[in-house]
Amino acid sequence: MTTALSMNLAVPTTRPTAADRAGARSTAQPPVRLTRRGRIVVLAALVLLAVAAVSMVAAASSAAPAGQDRPPVTMVVGPGDTLWTIATAVDPEADPRATIAELRRLNELSGSNIEAGQQLVLPAR
């Protein structure tokens, strides 16, 4: 006895329709398009970045180089001047004792005596 095996194979007989092809395209992402408001926001962000870059360059160029300090400021002691009066004149808001210590260090003074006509280097403020 012979048995014949039959197989049912589904073979498409027609081509895909336009609707089938449109359905396949609908899963693809459409290209990104900027609205007028979006273009304005992007332009504003670019302008802000440009302004920030220019201001940083301007600030860097106007600052004095780190290796070059300003020349020291000096003064000539007048009659009746003391380290206390000079310290309060140099930095009125600071503690005069700290300013006096700085004056003594800068001018290599061993004590508190100063004389009229003496030249003192003042602390930078």
Report if residue 111 sits inside a domain. yes
Report if residue 103 sits inside a domain. yes
- Domain of residue 104 covers 73-122
Number of structural domains the chain divides into: 1
Query: What pTM was estimated for this model as a whole?
Result: 0.45
Mean pLDDT of 17-44: 78
Task: Band the pLDDT of 65: cuts 50, 70, 90.
Answer: low
Q: Which residues of 93-110 are buried (b: 16+ CB within 10 A; e: fewer)?
A: eeebeebbebbbeeeeee
Q: What are phi and psi of 46, to 5 degrees?
A: -65, -40
Question: In the chain, pLDDT over 90 holds for what percent of residues?
Answer: 42
DSSP letter assigned to residue 15: P
Report if residue 40 sits inside a domain. no
Where residue 92 sits, what CATH number does that domain have? 3.10.350.10
